Amino acid sequence: MAQPDPTTVDEYLAAQPAPMREALDRVRAAIHTALPDSTETLAYKMPAVEVNGKAVVYFAGWKKHLSVYPVPAGDAAFEAAIAPYLAGKGSLNFPLKNPIPYELIAEIATRLAAQRAGH
């Protein structure tokens, strides 16, 4: 019997295998540290972090990697930092077999929130 879709971020994370859950918990913490006034919800069946009621960053666990969406704009140094993780137009993929750059994910969240505030 199929599991029902999660209705909260906690349920989403609880349904993940242990290594992925641990990585996603750290992603969640990094994002909330970078965006202390943020809230969270599920959108598109994945965790979404909102600022002022607007989703700014999404994250999800897959079989062998976790993803962060969307990809923010940045200067040349930032573009170089995220280049190894680019996977398609709007996605950054972080393989679980490699160390996850949580500080970079926090910077991504900060940039996305700033860009969203500018719209």
pLDDT along the chain (119 residues), means of 10: 81 95 97 96 95 95 96 93 91 96 97 85
The residue ranges of DSSP E strands in the chain, in sequence order, are 39-43, 46-51, 54-61, 65-69, 92-95
Distances 52 to 32, 39, 56, 116 between C-alpha atoms, Å: 14, 8, 10, 10
Q: What's the pLDDT score for residue 101?
A: 97
Domain 9-117: which CATH class? alpha beta
- Can you read off the two tokens belonging to residue 104? 């970079």
Q: What's the pLDDT score for residue 119?
A: 59
Q: What's the pLDDT score for residue 4?
A: 77
Q: What's the pLDDT score for residue 33?
A: 97
Q: What's the pLDDT score for residue 89?
A: 79
Where b means 16+ CB within 10 Å and e means fewer, 14-52 reads: eebeeebeebbeebbebbbebbeebebebeeebbbbbbe
Kindly list the strands in the beta sheet with 92-95, ordered across the sheet, starting from the edge strand earlier in the chain.
39-43, 46-51, 54-61, 65-69, 92-95
pTM over 0.75: yes
The secondary structure of residue 86, as a DSSP letter, is B
